[in-house]
Chain A
Amino acid sequence: MKIVTALLITVLSAALISFTSSSELEIGATMPKGDVKMMDVSGKSYSLNDLKMDNGLLVIFSCNTCPWVIKWNDRYNPVAEVAKKNKIGMVLVNSNENYRDRGDGMDDMQKFAEKSKYTMKYVLDKNHIVADAFGAAKTPHVFLFDKNGKLVYRGAIDDNAGDKNAVTKPWLKNALNAIGSGQEVSAKTSKSIGCTIKRTR
Chain B
Amino acid sequence: MRLIWVLCVSLLLSCGSDTSEKSKSQSFSTTVNMGPFKMLKADQYTGVMEQFKGQKAVVLNLWATWCQPCVKEFPYLVSLRNQYQDDVEVVFISFDFPEAKTDAEAFLKKQGVTWDTYMRTGNDQEFFKVLPESFSGALPYTAFIAKDGTLVKEITGAHTKEQFEVYFRQLAERVTP
List A residues at the B interface (Cβ < 8 Å). 3-9, 11-13, 15-17, 19-21, 23-24, 67, 137-138, 156, 159, 162, 169, 191-199
- Nearest residue in B to A6 (C-beta to C-beta)? B177
Q: Other than A21-B155, A137-B137, A193-B124, give 6 A-B pairs with Cβ distance below 8 A.
A: A7-B4, A11-B11, A16-B144, A67-B97, A156-B137, A162-B97
User: Assuming the A-B contacts A5-B177, A12-B170, A196-B69, are A137 and B136 also in contact, with contact meaning beta carbons closer than 8 angstroms in the complex?
Assistant: yes
For this complex, 27 residue pairs linking A to B, each with C-beta atoms less than 8 Å apart, are A3-B4, A6-B177, A8-B11, A9-B174, A12-B12, A15-B11, A15-B12, A16-B15, A16-B144, A19-B15, A20-B154, A21-B155, A24-B136, A137-B136, A137-B156, A191-B137, A193-B95, A193-B124, A193-B137, A193-B139, A194-B138, A194-B139, A195-B139, A196-B67, A196-B138, A196-B156, A196-B158
Whether the Cβ atoms of B175 and A5 lie closer than 8 Å is yes
| A-B interface pairs (CB < 8 A), number | 89
Min C-beta distance of A136 to chain B, whole Å? 9
Whether the Cβ atoms of B152 and A16 lie closer than 8 Å is yes
Chain B residues with Cβ below 8 Å from A4 are: 3-4, 7
Residue B75 CB within 8 A of the other chain:
no
Min C-beta distance of A8 to chain B, whole Å? 6
Min C-beta distance of A93 to chain B, whole Å? 16
Chain B residues with Cβ below 8 Å from A162 are: 97
Interface centre among A11, A67, A162, A196 (most CB of B within 10 A): A196
Whether the Cβ atoms of A9 and B177 lie closer than 8 Å is yes
Chain B residues with Cβ below 8 Å from A159 are: 123-125
Min C-beta distance of B65 to chain A, whole Å? 10
- Nearest residue in A to B127 (C-beta to C-beta)? A193
- Nearest residue in A to B176 (C-beta to C-beta)? A9
Chain B residues with Cβ below 8 Å from A156 are: 137
Chain A residues with Cβ below 8 Å from B144 are: 16
User: How far, in whole Å, are A17 and B155 apart by their CA atoms in the complex?
Assistant: 10
User: How far, in whole Å, are A76 and B104 apart by their CA atoms in the complex?
Assistant: 29
Chain B residues with Cβ below 8 Å from A8 are: 7-8, 11, 175
Contact with A along B125-147 (1 / 0, CB 8 A): 10010000011111110001000
Whether the Cβ atoms of A138 and B138 lie closer than 8 Å is yes
User: Assuming the A-B contacts A8-B7, A15-B12, A16-B152, are A196 and B170 also in contact, with contact meaning beta carbons closer than 8 angstroms in the complex?
Assistant: no
